[in-house]
């Protein structure tokens, strides 16, 4: 019995010895399995805790990628990559652009000014000659009433003073045209804070008049006058209208309030723009509205709704109607309907160069009883300027 237990003890000892040798050989050949370090909690590794479910993925509308925890040898870069800041333009000052536009206006309205001077300076004007003078005025879109009035005044001067030289006739013509343009009308635009709130300017017009572009150019005029401007992209029906307006704003460092989706309620966007401008303590907010035909009752009713909704937030200080000057007398009916719906306070005449006739300024003012406040004479970003009656008349007859 004792001998049996001795054999068992010897066998167990040999097993231990051979087992130790085998383990040593395996470690020498790299065959041992290394212990994996235990994963640190996410918050200790400097990473956000993973979401317990897919709520984050559903909220973002896409998959959520989890970045791996940085290893111990990860170091922050010494310098961050440079940030590209878009260059903000400094618009041309209004007075500077007025001088440039005056020369362009003179070139585009020779039919009215030079034609009249040629007729009036030839002496001994008979009825046929006066009819030709009146026809020239009508061709320039001055309108029947204003043309008749101007001819009557000129005939009286000729009767009183007799035939005169060109310089004298030029003086008569300038005086009469300036009276028709009416320099006494208030052409200022409310663009400063009113009673502690931003001034609100709504821009309206038919399709194709360059309304959104006009809003962008007007923003440049106001920025040049050191005004803090906010744009409201309430034209939610025309594709890319909001993008177009935002691009205009970004060029001069002006924020744009817009909807993220096409077809949004324009009244809601306009309301948010006015509210946002108040929160930003801006000087003025410009609201761009969708172009609409003046004979479409539903669209005009919607424009009236935009006006009413804005007025729940703030009074409206200006409603500017953008008219294409090349439409001439055809644009006057458009102006009447818009004035009835939203109460126009001023006119912006675009495309007054080229085929446009200067007489439309007089015609539209007489039709609506409101002044032309801005004129556009080209495609450049600074080709919009405040309307100067004396400069306008001088450009026509010089």
- Residue numbers in the known binding site for GTP are 205-212, 288-292, 350-353
Which residues are CB-contacts of 352 (< 8 A; sequence separation ≥ 6)? 105, 108, 325, 358, 360, 375, 376, 377
List the binding residues.
205-212, 288-292, 350-353
Which residues are CB-contacts of 357 (< 8 A; sequence separation ≥ 6)? 109, 111, 112, 139, 140, 141, 142, 325, 328
Q: What span, in angstroms and rounded, lies between the C-alpha atoms of 101 and 386?
A: 10
Residue 162, phi-psi category: left (phi > 0), alpha (psi -120 to 50), beta (remainder) = left
Phi, psi of 80 (to 5 degrees): -85, 150
**Tokens at 34, concatenated:** 């290394």
The structure tokens 């126009």 sit at 344
Q: What span, in angstroms and rounded, lies between the C-alpha atoms of 267 and 227?
A: 25
The structure tokens 């102006």 sit at 335
Q: Give the H or E element holding residue 161.
A: helix 144-161
Q: Give the H or E element holding residue 393.
A: helix 389-397
Sequence-ordered alpha helix ranges (H) in 49-91? 55-60
Are the C-beta atoms of residues 358 and 392 closer than 8 Å to each other?
yes
Sequence-ordered alpha helix ranges (H) in 256-316? 266-279, 297-313
Which of 222, 215, 224, 191 lies closest to 89 in space, CA to CA?
224
Q: What span, in angstroms and rounded, lies between the C-alpha atoms of 273 and 275?
A: 5
* Helix, strand, coil distribution of the chain in percent, nearest 5: 50, 10, 40
Of the chain, the end-to-end C-alpha distance in Å amounts to 141
């Amino acid at each position: 019995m004792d001998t049996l237990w001795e054999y068992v003890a010897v066998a167990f000892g040999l097993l231990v010895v051979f087992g130790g040798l085998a383990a040593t050989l395996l470690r020498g050949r790299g065959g041992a399995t290394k212990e994996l370090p235990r994963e640190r909690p996410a918050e200790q590794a400097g990473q956000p805790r993973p979401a317990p479910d897919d709520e984050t993925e559903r909220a973002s509308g896409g998959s959520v990628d989890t970045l791996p925890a940085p290893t111990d040898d990860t170091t922050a870069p010494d310098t961050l990559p440079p940030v590209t800041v878009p260059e903000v333009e400094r618009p041309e000052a209004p007075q500077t652009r007025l001088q440039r536009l005056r020369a362009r206006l003179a070139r585009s309205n020779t039919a009215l000014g030079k034609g009249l001077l040629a007729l009036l300076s030839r002496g001994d004007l008979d009825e046929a000659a006066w009819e030709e003078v009146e026809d020239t005025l009508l061709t320039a879109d001055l309108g029947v009433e204003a043309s008749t009035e101007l001819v009557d005044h000129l005939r009286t001067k000729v009767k009183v003073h007799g035939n005169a030289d060109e310089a004298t006739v030029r003086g008569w013509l300038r005086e009469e045209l300036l009276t028709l343009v009416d320099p006494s009308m208030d052409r200022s635009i409310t663009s400063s804070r009113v009673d502690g709130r931003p001034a609100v300017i709504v821009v309206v017009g038919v399709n194709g008049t360059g309304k959104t572009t006009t809003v962008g150019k007007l923003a440049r005029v106001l920025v040049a006058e050191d005004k803090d401007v906010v744009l409201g992209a309430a034209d939610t029906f025309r594709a890319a209208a909001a993008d177009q307006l935002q691009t205009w704003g970004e060029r001069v460092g002006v924020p744009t309030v817009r909807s993220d989706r096409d077809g949004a309620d324009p009244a809601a966007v306009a309301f948010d723009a006015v509210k946002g401008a108040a929160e930003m303590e801006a000087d003025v907010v410009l609201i761009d509205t969708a172009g609409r035909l003046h004979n479409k009752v539903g669209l005009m009713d919607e424009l009236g709704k935009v006006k009413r909704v804005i007025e729940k937030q703030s009074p409206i200080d200006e409603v500017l109607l953008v008219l294409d000057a090349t439409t001439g007398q055809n644009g006057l009916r458009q102006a009447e309907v818009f004035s009835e719906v939203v109460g126009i306070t001023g006119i912006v005449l675009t495309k007054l160069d080229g085929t446009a006739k200067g007489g439309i300024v007089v015609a539209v003012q007489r039709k609506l009883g409101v002044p032309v406040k801005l004129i556009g004479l080209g495609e450049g970003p600074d080709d919009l300027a405040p309307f100067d009656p004396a400069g306008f008349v001088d450009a026509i007859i010089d």
